[in-house]
Amino acid sequence: MKKKVLILCLSCVMVIAALAGCVSQPPAYSEGDTGTAPSTSSDSGAKVEGSGEGFVIGFSNGYVGNIWRQDLMDTAERRLQAYKNEGVVADYQITNANDDVTEQQNHINALINQGCDAIIIDPNSATALASVIKTAVDKGILVVICNDVAAYDGTYSIGTDYPGQHEITANWFVRAMDEEGDTVYISGVPGNPSDTVRNVVQEEVFSHYPNIHVLAEAPGYWSDAEAQSALSNFLSTYDSLKGIITQDGMGNGLLQAYANAGIEPGIIIGDANGTFFKHWDEIGSDNLRNICVPSPASVGGWSVDFTIGLLQGREIADGALSPNPTNASMVNHVLVDIQYAVVNNEDLTNDFAAWMKENYPNCELITLDEALVRTKDIPDGYVLGYDLPFDQIFK
């Protein structure tokens, strides 16, 4: 299934500016309604009185429940601080709403009242923030939706290709299962936009494989502890499970559940971080059938770079915006392609490799040995990320 078709399927569920002032490349990285997209005008942000030449940026984060989200926020703060050190940003504020929509609404209102030039939002809901976001947009504040996809009028959106990520995962899984057998599904955070789009993708992929039987489902909240608990219950209930289909961020919990049950791991979905790679290496690269497709936490930094570029008046490159994954009629989304996936050696040359070459030709398939080399200098729980292709997004 091609990505364009996939985006159109997902939509059923849910620019021109002159360069102004001094525009710089970003600092180096240290580690129903059809909706409307915003103008790319350089005056899209409302300047804060007395802020000087630097911008004031707010970042409203909806959820902090795992090390991945901590990584995302660390990346965003490093980027904001780098811009502040260069004088591009005068000040910034980061808020965390603890998966509470009302709290996030209050945080965004506070950022509006503080006179931010731009507010970056990783939303708890794809719909519930509409009123407060409209208030920000009406005041001339640039609003950029980060990571969790949502189609809010007057905003931009930037994120990893979550639909593509789970399309890769699901297509690998059915092939690893030889297109038949019993499984259970452990999803993410119920109601979260990124969970919803991945659920839709999996349903579409599995609809073509009637001999794959999903016996039960449970949310794992992108948490190793929650996923471990869910799988422990499933392992005690079903003795026919050939594999476990999950979203990312829970692979270490799956391994622990198998270990506690005294059962050899079946086919699973791993995580693209050093902790999982080390566990995989201990088991043996050929003894654990899995795939690791990253959700780079560097999306936090990408959103900062993109926001600063817009505030500086940079023009968006032709074709850089794609249909929003939750509303294909709103073309406001910067979709950053998946650049790699970690697979078993056999997946470099088998039917899955051929499928990847046809559908995701720019995604590199790498082995565990290569992944261990690439992650040796980053914290164990952090995902191996990659930089925003800045010059592909802006002219």
In this structure, the answer to whether residues 318 and 187 fall within a common structural domain is no
Determine how β-strand 241-246 pairs with β-strand 181-187. Answer: parallel
Task: List Cβ neighbours of 260 (8 Å cut-off, separation of 6 or more).
Answer: 228, 232
CB of 269 closer than 8 Å to CB of 251: yes
Determine how β-strand 142-146 pairs with β-strand 327-336. Answer: unpaired
Give the integer Cα–Cα distance in Å for 252 and 197. 23
**DSSP secondary structure string, 107-169?**
HHHHHHHTT-SEEEEE-S-SSTTHHHHHHHHHTT-EEEEESS----TT-EEEEE-HHHHHHHH
Question: Does residue 211 lie within any of the structural domains?
Answer: yes
Instruction: Identify the pLDDT of residue 160.
Output: 87
Angle between helices 162-176 and 3-11 (to 10 degrees): 110
Question: Does residue 395 lie within any of the structural domains?
Answer: no
Instruction: Identify the pLDDT of residue 325.
Output: 84
Instruction: Identify the pLDDT of residue 149.
Output: 83
Q: What is the DSSP letter of 129?
A: T
Question: Does residue 215 lie within any of the structural domains?
Answer: yes
Give the phi and the psi of residue 376 in degrees, each rounded to 5: -65, -20
Question: Does residue 353 lie within any of the structural domains?
Answer: yes
Give the integer Cα–Cα distance in Å for 322 and 330. 8
In this structure, the answer to whether residues 7 and 100 fall within a common structural domain is yes
Total number of domains in the chain: 2
In this structure, the answer to whether residues 110 and 192 fall within a common structural domain is no
In this structure, the answer to whether residues 197 and 144 fall within a common structural domain is no
Low-confidence ranges of the chain (pLDDT < 50): 1-24, 28-52
In this structure, the answer to whether residues 151 and 214 fall within a common structural domain is no
Q: Beta partners for 136? A: none
Task: List Cβ neighbours of 352 (8 Å cut-off, separation of 6 or more).
Answer: 171, 172, 175, 176, 343
Give the phi and the psi of residue 374 in degrees, each rounded to 5: -70, -25
Q: How many CB atoms lie within 10 A of CB 216?
A: 15
In this structure, the answer to whether residues 62 and 186 fall within a common structural domain is no
DSSP, collapsed to helix, strand or coil, labels residue 120 as strand
Give the integer Cα–Cα distance in Å for 252 and 227. 9
Closest CA to 194 of 352, 362, 63, 347: 63
Instruction: Identify the pLDDT of residue 27.
Output: 54
Q: What is the DSSP letter of 124?
A: S
Give the integer Cα–Cα distance in Å for 376 and 45. 40
Instruction: Identify the pLDDT of residue 9.
Output: 42
CATH number at residue 312: 3.40.50.2300
Question: Does residue 387 lie within any of the structural domains?
Answer: no
In this structure, the answer to whether residues 226 and 362 fall within a common structural domain is yes
In this structure, the answer to whether residues 185 and 256 fall within a common structural domain is yes
Give the integer Cα–Cα distance in Å for 241 and 257. 14
In this structure, the answer to whether residues 68 and 197 fall within a common structural domain is no
Give the integer Cα–Cα distance in Å for 50 and 151. 33
Instruction: Identify the pLDDT of residue 121.
Output: 98
Which residue range(s) make up the domain with 224? 162-295+340-374
In this structure, the answer to whether residues 227 and 264 fall within a common structural domain is yes
In this structure, the answer to whether residues 16 and 61 fall within a common structural domain is yes
